[in-house]
Copies of this chain bind each other. A is one copy, B any other.
Amino acid sequence: MTNTSKTSVTERKRGSGAKMVYDLLRDEILDLVLPPGSPIDEVLLAERFEMSRTPIREALVRLAGEGLVDTLPNRSTMVSNIDFLNMHTYFDALVLMYRVTTQLAARYYRESDLEVIRTHQAAFAAAVEAQDALAMIATNAAFHLAIAEAGRNPYFTSLFKRLLDEGRRILRLYYQSYEDRLPRRFVEEHDEMIAAIVARDLVLSEQLGREHAEQIVRQVQKLLTRNERLDIAL
């Protein structure tokens, strides 16, 4: 499956090699183009990107730092698995970050943040209208990340980003379910959250963040258990 066509790898700039590989591999992992457990071959990637192994190794080290790949010493590195057994720890962290970041946004947002947030919300609403499940997942994550950035706490924002990424991978497994009535409700809830933030209502913002998160968690958990039943049935 190697791409033999000499796809104009236009003289990339010095120093951009690792970042390019990192970005692309990250997307392929989160979109499940590279499913969990896939082995990652350095020389194959080196040929694919027409560069040496050095920048590819740098990208892999970075991905390993974020837990997206696991590196066994002296042996192949592979895409990390999703830990379904301890999923509740993920949900705990996700809900808390939804609450905290929404509350902080209400406290610290500036006018310029609102524009960004509303743009993402419009994109999400458009994705819902278009019934594009993948776009829904992406724009929803972007919307909440924009809120988190308005909260101006890089420690929370970076953890939240990591959790949303991981969620992108989980939701990607079950995105079919997004084609029901729920997304429209999400659009309304987003509007409520924006209103609460604009009003600088800390308590309400946190509460809406929590309810929104728990709504999503319930949805995913329902899908997970349904899927378990299917597994057993097979």
Contacts and interface: CB of A to CB of B under 8 A. Distances in A.
Contacts of A100: 96
A65 to B, nearest CB: 4
Nearest to A61: B61
Interface of A: 14-15, 54, 57-58, 61-62, 65-66, 73-74, 86, 89-90, 92-93, 96, 100, 104, 152-156, 159, 162-163
A153 B93 contact: yes
Given A61-B62, A66-B65, A92 B14 contact: no
Dominant SS at the A interface? helix
A159 B154 CA distance: 11
B73 A15 contact: yes
Nearest to A94: B155
A74 to B, nearest CB: 6
Contacts of A154: 86, 89
Contacts of A15: 73-74
B14 A153 contact: no
A96 B151 CA distance: 15
The CB with the most chain B CB atoms within 10 A, among A89, A154, A162, is that of A89
Given A61-B62, A92-B153, 20 more contacts: A14-B74, A15-B73, A58-B61, A61-B65, A62-B65, A65-B66, A86-B152, A86-B154, A89-B152, A89-B153, A89-B154, A89-B155, A90-B155, A92-B104, A92-B155, A93-B153, A96-B96, A96-B100, A155-B159, A155-B162
